[in-house]
Amino acid sequence: MLTLHIDRPGIEEIFLEGFNANKEKFLDFIQNSYRTMKLEEGFERSIRQAKLQENGELTESSLDDLIDELQNSTDA
């Protein structure tokens, strides 16, 4: 059981108006937002790694390694 207590007026307004005070919809949104954030972090890591490889600052890894790393970061 989860009790939701919101102390910030801006967040409370989003909860009430944007989600019609539906806790499940709000929590689903938070969960999906978290997954999106983790996916974006994986992309950013891959971009940084590619730039380092391009500059010769990092030894090359195979495309499969990069894909595996990205997939593992989104599974977490």
Please tell me the predicted confidence (pLDDT) of residue 10: 95
Q: What is the pLDDT of residues 3-61, one digit of tens each?
A: 878 899 999 999 999 999 999 999 999 999 999 999 999 888 888 888 877 777 766 66
- Specify burial of residue 24 (Cβ count, 10 A radius: 0-12, 13-18, 19+): exposed
User: Alpha-carbon distance 30 to 14, whole Å?
Assistant: 12
Q: Read off the pTM.
A: 0.58
Length of the chain: 76
